[in-house]
């Protein structure tokens, strides 16, 4: 009887200990899950400008955005997708590229070339090669490499899908430069000039031709008139004879 009681007690205690262990494990998992959810929620409550400022790896992009006023745009409703170059990406710039960024207008256009408006593009949706328009009125090519890496404009996405309340940020390893802003305008002006210059030149040639033909006509008529008078006068002389 005593042995049976002891076995029952030992079995009961074992079951109780197992339940306590499972409960503790469940609580731990729930706590971890809550922590992740809380972190995601906290991150999603920040707009893109706040996210850029809070990321120590994006301090230079955030600083440039503030200097050009782009940070105010990125506080807006959006949604926006920002391909933000890391600080290391800015460190890799050549002297010529740094000179370009020293010009406030060029800097703003370069920064806008990293922003896609009205879309929050997750990397899972970048599969086949696709072109997306940027705020700089240029296009970026998005693609997935054979080994599954996500590439934008030739730059590698190093950190993906940083969620913000008004869009998403991806960290890239290169600064992306758009095509020269004046290229199309210059070619347009040249075309315009070439189309107008020949017509004006031909008009200049046509006018002197008309001016020269008038005297020729007048001299011919004068000579014929003179010859007519001479012949008529000679006839009258003959008749008088």
What does the domain layout of the chain look like in residue ranges?
44-122+157-183
Helix intervals (H) in the chain? 2-44, 48-54, 59-68, 70-73, 87-91, 95-102, 104-112, 183-240
179 band by pLDDT with thresholds 50, 70 and 90: confident
* Structure tokens belonging to residue 109: 């256009």
* Chain-centre distance for alpha carbon 65: 15
What is residue 127's predicted lDDT score, i.e. its pLDDT?
81
> Tens digits of per-residue pLDDT, 36-63?
433 443 457 899 999 999 999 999 999 9
Determine whether 202 is exposed, middle or buried from the number of CB atoms within 10 Å of its CB (0-12, 13-18, 19+). Answer: exposed
What is residue 9's predicted lDDT score, i.e. its pLDDT?
58
Residues of the chain with pLDDT > 90: what percent?
Answer: 53
SS3 letters for 92-135? CCCHHHHHHHHCHHHHHHHHHCCEEECCCCCHHHCCCCEEEECC
Q: List Cα–Cα distances, 114 to 45, 117, 142, in angstroms.
A: 22, 10, 12
Question: Are the C-beta atoms of 170 and 81 separated by less than 8 Å?
Answer: yes
* Lowest mean pLDDT segment, chosen from 7-11, 20-24, 163-167, 217-221: 217-221
**Which pTM does this prediction carry?**
0.59
Among residues 156, 176, 151, 23, which one has the least CA distance to residue 93? 176
- What residues contact 131, with CB distance under 8 A and at least 6 apart? 139, 140, 141, 142
102 band by pLDDT with thresholds 50, 70 and 90: very high
Domain 44-122+157-183 architecture: Roll (2.30)
Run of H or E residues at 157: strand 155-164
Q: Is the pLDDT of residue 222 over 60?
A: no
> Tens digits of per-residue pLDDT, 59-80?
999 999 999 999 999 999 989 9
What is residue 204's predicted lDDT score, i.e. its pLDDT?
39
């Amino acid at each position: 009887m005593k042995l049976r009681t002891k076995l029952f007690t030992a079995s009961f205690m074992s079951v109780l200990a197992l339940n306590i262990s499972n409960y503790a494990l469940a609580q731990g998992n729930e706590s971890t899950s809550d922590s992740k959810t809380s972190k995601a929620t906290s991150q999603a409550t920040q707009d893109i400008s706040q996210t850029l400022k809070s990321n120590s790896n994006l301090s230079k992009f955030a600083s440039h955005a503030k200097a050009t006023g782009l940070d105010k745009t990125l506080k807006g409703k959006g949604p926006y997708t920002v391909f933000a170059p890391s600080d290391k990406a800015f460190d890799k710039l050549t002297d010529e590229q740094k000179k370009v960024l020293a010009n406030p207008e060029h800097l703003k256009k370069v920064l806008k070339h990293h922003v896609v408006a009205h879309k929050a593009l997750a990397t899972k949706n970048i599969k086949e090669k696709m072109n997306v328009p940027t705020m700089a009125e240029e296009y970026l090519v998005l693609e997935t490499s054979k080994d599954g890496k996500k590439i934008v404009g030739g730059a590698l996405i190093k950190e993906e899908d940083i969620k913000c309340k008004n869009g998403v940020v991806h960290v890239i390893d290169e600064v992306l430069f758009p095509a020269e802003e004046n290229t199309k305008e210059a070619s347009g002006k040249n075309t315009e000039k070439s189309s107008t210059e020949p017509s004006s030149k031909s008009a200049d040639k046509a006018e002197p031709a008309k001016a020269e033909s008038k005297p020729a006509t007048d001299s011919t008529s004068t000579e014929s008139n003179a010859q007519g008078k001479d012949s008529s006068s000679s006839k009258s002389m003959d008749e008088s004879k």
